[in-house]
Structures are given as structure tokens and as C-alpha cells.
Amino acid sequence: MLRHALAPVLQPAADAVGIPRTLAAGSDGVALTFDDGPHPEGTPAVLDLLARAGYRATFFLIGEQVERRPELAREISRQGHLVAVHGYRHRLQPRLSANQLRADLDRALTTIQDATGASPEHHRPPYGVYSPAGLRLATGSGLKPLLWSRWGKDWRRFTTPGRIAARATRNLGPGDVILLHDADFYSARNSHQRTVDALRLIIAELERLEIGTVVPS
């Protein structure tokens, strides 16, 4: 269980349980990923910035939020972004039984598919923490787990767009996966606003480094 909990932040732990934190070898870009949405303010603002930059991203959606805003989930997919599964509810996997995990995953998949018409292929658990049962269920459902190698820690109450962007782009290179959040449902209030401002800085840094964005395959 300890390895599953450490996997988001320690590459050896992720490797030990077979959970990728980066894109496949040979990738020529970075993956921008957004968790916890869709959000009525954060998601449209993120989509607008991505559209202006011509970037694609991956959105790890929460089923209960998709149910509240199916048209926004549909818009994410319509604009060419990848929709992925973050769960139906935002709960820590080790606290749930195998039956609870299965019900949550099944409901999330159905909700996202019904709203977007797309079949998600990738999965990331809330907080980036898999339980052994949760990992087996995700892979057994044909989903590809993906964590992250760079994060802005944008959910924090006392942070700034500059700090978020600097942390997310430190030593950045092709193959990295950046974790951000387009919603504040499960984090500090209005944190999505700082994320949007940070995204402007991240996009500028990607352009300076001449690194494009890709979605995981």
C-alpha cells in the first residue's frame, strides 16, 4: 500500500507498481492535464487559453461534476481535448472497499461517456493515490493509469500564479506530464483563478522553450 501512496511523487515507487508518471519514450511534447472539473468558471477560462495557443490537453473529469454540467464536458471533447476518468466522486481510494471502487468507476465511465460521446482511455485517481484494488479495477477495465511528473500545487490556499508556473515548468522537457486543476471543488476556494493566471505563464514558457503539447496515447 505504501508504494501506491508514494507513486505520485517518487518515480521508483511508481515504477514498482507499474504506474507511469511521464509519457511514452520518444514523445516530442509535454502533456498538460487538468483534474477535478468541469467547473463553470475555471474550465471555460482554461479552454479559451488553450484555444488561443493551439494546444491540446487532457481533462481528468469527476463524474458528479459532469452530471451537473454535461454540456461543458461535451465542449471539452468537441474542442479536441482528451477526456479521461478521475472518478465519480473525489474520494481517497484506500478508504473504499473494492465494491465501492467498482461502483464509483462504473458510474464515472457511464456519466462521462453519456455526456461526451467519447470513451475515456486514461485514468487518474483522486489525490493520485491508487489502492491495490483500485489499480486492478482501472487496468481491468481497459483504462491506462497516468500520474504526473510536474505539478504546480495549485490547490494550495497561499500560493501565487508565479509560484505555480515556476514549479510546474522547472526542468521541464519532452515527455513530462504537468498536473493542474481547472476546478476548486476539492481544493482552496477560488484556486482555479490562480491556475488560469498560472496557465498564461506556463504557455509563455512552453513557447519560449519551443515545446509543444501532446495528449497521451
Q: Any idea what DSSP says for residue 171?
A: T
Supply φ then ψ for residue 75, to 5 degrees: -65, -35
Place 5 in a pLDDT band, splitting at 50, 70 and 90.
Answer: low
pLDDT tens profile 92-116: 999 999 999 999 999 999 999 999 9
Judge whether 176 counts as a catalytic residue.
no
pLDDT tens profile 125-180: 999 999 999 999 999 999 999 999 999 999 999 999 999 999 999 999 999 999 99
CA 154: distance to chain centroid?
Answer: 12
Q: Any idea what DSSP says for residue 33?
A: E
Catalytic residue among 181, 182, 184, 192: 181
SS3 172: coil
Domain membership of residue 20 as a residue range: 2-213
Q: State which H helix or E strand residue 60 sits in.
A: strand 58-61
Among residues 150, 133, 164, which one has the least CA distance to residue 17?
Answer: 133
Please compute Rg for the chain using Cα positions: 16
Rounded CA gap, 78 and 72, in Å? Answer: 10
Q: Does the bond joining 38 to the residue before it have cis omega, within 30 degrees of 0?
A: yes
User: What CATH number does residue 32 fall under?
Assistant: 3.20.20.370
Q: Any idea what DSSP says for residue 90?
A: -
Structurally, the chain folds into a number of domains equal to 1
Per-residue confidence (pLDDT) for residue 14, from 0 to 100: 74
Catalytic residue among 35, 36, 154, 182: 35
Judge whether 39 counts as a catalytic residue.
no
